[in-house]
Amino acid sequence: MSRRYASWRLQAVRFLLRNRGKMGKVGSALKIRGDIRLRASTEGTVTIGDNVELVGTLGRSTFFKVGGTLEIADEVFINRGCEIYATTDVTLGYDATLAPGIVIRDSDMHAVGGGTVQRDAVKIDPGAWIGTRSIVLKGVTVGQTAVLGACSGVTRDVPRDTVVAGSPAEVGREP
């Protein structure tokens, strides 16, 4: 085992110990590089699969705020500076990749005009790739092996095997 890999595993152990009351199932070989922060309510559940890598280096923490359910499947890679807000349900499928600076929100986070807070689950299907500084909002499903271009604002479902880009995100290429 290399020193670098051992260091990542040690950071993972520290993260798990620091957050032991907030974590559900955690798979094997979790790798953590840099500053990863988790804020979970007593109702929040976080599940992490096998061979997941979380990065929070270069002055950009990766941040999770969980009041509902956050499920991270096997082989997921989450790069530095990502923010995931799971007030109801956020699911990251097998081998999903999040580039730096992604924001995922399953809620409006506050009421608008005296109304109620709007919440709806977000699902990132297996093999999806989300480009740098993209935003995925409530109620969105990103299809299997779909690609979101950098700085995309995603407010609607993205079909599988599709490339989308822009704000709001528009289909650039279909299968």
Domain range for 19: 3-173
Percentage with pLDDT > 70 across the chain: 96
* Torsion sign over Cα 39, 105, 12, 59: negative
pLDDT band at 85 (very low <50, low <70, confident <90, very high): very high
| Predicted TM-score (pTM) of this structure | 0.90
Task: Give the CATH number for residue 100.
Answer: 2.160.10.10
Give the residue with greater pLDDT, 61 vs 95: 95
Q: State the Cα–Cα distance between residues 159 and 155, nearest whole angstrom.
A: 13
Average pLDDT score over residue span 2-27:
80
Give the residue with greater pLDDT, 4 vs 139: 139
Other beta carbons within 10 Å of 134:
25
Furthest CA-CA distance within the chain: 56
pLDDT band at 175 (very low <50, low <70, confident <90, very high): low
Average pLDDT score over residue span 67-75:
95
Total domains present in the chain: 1
